[in-house]
């Protein structure tokens, strides 16, 4: 099994509250997932505010133990989306429509790289 680094750039839109606070909640939810999933090896999050306290950008790099890069991408995407959902956000552009949550995450870019 090899390690694959999955990178994703996400834009978040908040109709109420500070998106930076929601980002911190996502990070906390991801940490709980990482602690219980042995395939999730490492993660790095970054956040930047984009517009008047209602829009932010998140960059996530997840290193995953998997047999193929496709498997690693699926595991990493699932973990990031799960953390967003656990924090109360929705990801409608990722084929998982939310129920009108306060914070919406839109996928901007993603890639996967084999790491040793």
Q: Phi first, then psi: give them for residue 69, nearest 5 degrees.
A: -70, -30
Return d(Cα 83, Cα 16) in angstroms, integer: 19
The distance of Cα 3 from the centroid of its chain, to the nearest Å, equals: 18
Q: Look at residue 1 in the predicted model and tell me its pLDDT.
A: 67
Q: Look at residue 104 in the predicted model and tell me its pLDDT.
A: 62
- How many structural domains comprise the chain? 1
The encoded tokens of residue 21 equal 């606070």
The encoded tokens of residue 89 equal 């956000």
Residue 70 belongs to domain with CATH number: 3.30.70.1130
Domain that holds residue 83: 2-115
Question: Looking at the whole model, is its pTM more than 0.85?
Answer: no
Q: Which residues of the chain have pLDDT under 50?
A: 96-102
């Amino acid at each position: 099994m090899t390690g694959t680094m999955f990178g994703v750039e996400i834009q978040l839109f908040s109709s109420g509250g500070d998106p930076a606070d929601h980002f911190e909640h996502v990070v906390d939810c991801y940490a709980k997932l990482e602690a219980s999933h042995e395939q999730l090896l490492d993660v790095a999050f970054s956040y930047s505010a984009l517009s008047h306290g209602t829009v932010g950008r998140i960059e996530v790099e997840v290193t995953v133990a998997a047999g193929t890069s496709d498997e690693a991408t699926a595991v990493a995407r699932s973990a990031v989306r799960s953390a967003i959902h656990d924090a109360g956000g929705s990801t409608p552009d990722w084929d998982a429509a939310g129920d009108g949550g306060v914070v919406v995450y839109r996928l901007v870019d993603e890639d996967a790289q084999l790491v040793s």
